[in-house]
Amino acid sequence: MFSLVNKNAVITGAASGIGKAIALLFAKQGAKVHILDFNLQAAREVVTEIKANGGQATAHGCDVGDQAAMIAIFDQIGNTDILVNNAGIAQVGNLENTASADFNRVFKVNVEGAYNTMYAAIPYLKTNGGGCILNLASIAAHVGLLDRFAYSMSKGAIFAMTLSVARDYLHQNIRCNSISPARVHTPFVDGFIAKNYPGKEAEMFDKLSKSQPIGRMGSVDEIAALALYLCSDEAGFITGTDYPIDGGFLTLNN
């Protein structure tokens, strides 16, 4: 079950964190993985790791906010079966203390980046006779989170775009779903805590962990496992759906 043999999978932001875990798992399941990341050196290191374990992978340095560059990369990749839109950035602040430059930066990467990647991939998915798109949304698309104005905006857009693409390409056999994680322990989270709460890292890590009713953050491997299912043939009856993976945050955090 959940074999991706003979599948071409494109994953953005796959040089670290959730994207890297998805890339490693997809390669393990037989996919040829294309790792798209702003950090080309880190992407190449993931490729080396995949190949050392007998998998197939290629690294592509890219800025998802550049549509022409994304089109050129997909022209190079060609046949595409799976697209995972994982690349994204965060921003701390409410409406009043979110500067225009910060708002636009989040929009450029998180929203326009996903749009650009899907825009570049859709022609190849159609030519392929169908395929699967998986977008990384967030619980921030569904509930109000303190001081996450721009980030929540961007993830709400991801959720809405997922529904739109699922509807528009239903008859081209292209499925489109999204995943909405709560907090997941990644190097990004460690860096975020160190930057914003210096000297209080352990205290904030514990606090953020316990904000999930289950009492801990998710792991990147848990997110990757859900991504694998949704991108596999076994999930062929699923489209236009968002999947919270949140330790009970949305339903039990009362």
Same domain for 107 and 191, yes or no, is no
Same domain for 213 and 223, yes or no, is no
Same domain for 212 and 223, yes or no, is no
Same domain for 99 and 192, yes or no, is no
Number of domains in the chain: 2
What pLDDT score does 196 carry? 82
Q: Considering the chain, what percentage of its residues have pLDDT values greater than 90?
A: 93
**151 is known as an active-site residue:** yes
Among 14, 54, 53, 16, which residue's Cα sits nearest to residue 35? 14
The answer to whether residues 106 and 128 touch, using CB atoms and an 8 Å cutoff, is no
Same domain for 118 and 193, yes or no, is no
Tokens of 47: 């490729």
Q: For residues 74 and 84, give the distance between their C-alpha atoms in angstroms, rounded to a whole number.
A: 13
pLDDT tens for 154-169 read 999 999 999 999 999 9
What pLDDT score does 191 carry? 87
254: pLDDT strictly greater than 80: no
Compute CA distances 86 → 16, 20, 133, 210, 246, whole Å: 10, 10, 11, 25, 17
Averaged pLDDT for residues 80-90: 96
Inside any domain, residue 1: no
Same domain for 207 and 114, yes or no, is no
pLDDT tens for 8-66 read 999 999 999 999 999 999 999 999 999 999 999 999 999 999 999 999 999 999 999 99
Same domain for 123 and 213, yes or no, is no
Which domain range does residue 198 map to?
186-217
Global pTM value: 0.96
Same domain for 226 and 211, yes or no, is no
Among 206, 215, 225, 207, which residue's Cα sits nearest to residue 246? 215
pLDDT tens for 184-220 read 999 888 988 898 889 999 999 999 999 899 999 999 9
Inside any domain, residue 212: yes
Inside any domain, residue 3: no
What pLDDT score does 176 carry? 98
What pLDDT score does 192 carry? 82
Inside any domain, residue 67: yes
Inside any domain, residue 117: yes
Same domain for 206 and 177, yes or no, is no
To the nearest whole number, what is the mean pLDDT of the chain?
96
Inside any domain, residue 62: yes
- Which residues have CB under 8 Å from 72's CB, separation 6+? none
Q: pLDDT class for 221, splitting at 50, 70, 90? A: very high
141: pLDDT strictly greater than 80: yes
Same domain for 157 and 198, yes or no, is no
Rg (CA), the chain: 17
Catalytic residue among 151, 169, 197, 243: 151
